[in-house]
Chain A
Amino acid sequence: ELKVEQNPLFLSMQEKKNYTIYCNYSTTSDRLYWYRQDPGKSLESLFVLLSNGAVKQEGRLMASLDTKARLSTLHITAAVHDLSATYFCAVTIQGAQKLVFGQGTRLTINP
């Protein structure tokens, strides 16, 4: 059974600091997604990573994928308050129809 684990689950950080969220998964996957969720809101797609070594960046967020280690990272550079949200990684396996999500990382950025 495919399992996805994120850490940390809670992260409180100050503005302008850098930090990384980690996402480990248990079996070979052909794509990995990062989503953002604001309180009471739905999921917003951030990144789709398709191959080993893939790196994508959008603003202060950068995601990478190491399929050999079954690890993805979401790096936050010089955090700002607007990035406060819960971040989920999700994984699929070839031929499967579902996304398997991690538990989420609740990120709080303090002034």
Chain B
Amino acid sequence: ETGVTQSPTHLIKTRGQQVTLRCSSQSGHNTVSWYQQALGQGPQFIFQYYREEENGRGNFPPRFSGLQFPNYSSELNVNALELDDSALYLCASSLRRDLDIQYFGAGTRLSVL
């Protein structure tokens, strides 16, 4: 049990729709990172938030956006869903911005039809 919770656990959407995924960080952790894990692949870094500001971004288009709230919970928003967005989305929290150990949530499985 990592103390990082994600919701929902599973989600089915159709192409073109929008989705919001949520993450509650481990207590006291001010940094959250989001990753996309396609089936059979390693996780790919989407972006990181530190104290409510974006603090690094991977090779993902602008339709992937995020928010971090004062209580350090966060959201991942994806607009104009595409079939290739089907994946497991993982959030990870860490105590410091300089990448102390990242603790992962159980993930949200998104299926785009």
Contact = CB atoms under 8 A, between A and B. Distances in A.
A97 B55 contact: yes
A25 interface: no
Contacts of B43: 43, 88, 99, 101
B66 interface: no
Contacts of A101: 42-44
Which bucket holds chain B's interface residue count? 20 to 34
Given A31-B99, A42-B90, A45-B103, A98 B56 contact: yes
Interface string A70-96: 000000000000000000101010001
Interface stretch (B14-22, B72-80, B104-112): B104-112
A104 B42 contact: yes
A108 to B, nearest CB: 15
B28 to A, nearest CB: 17
A68 interface: no
Contacts of A100: 45
A22 B103 CA distance: 23
B38 to A, nearest CB: 11
A97 B104 CA distance: 15
Contacts of A41: 106
B65 interface: no
Contacts of B97: 97
Interface in B75-91: 90
Interface string B35-73: 100001111110010000001101000000000000000
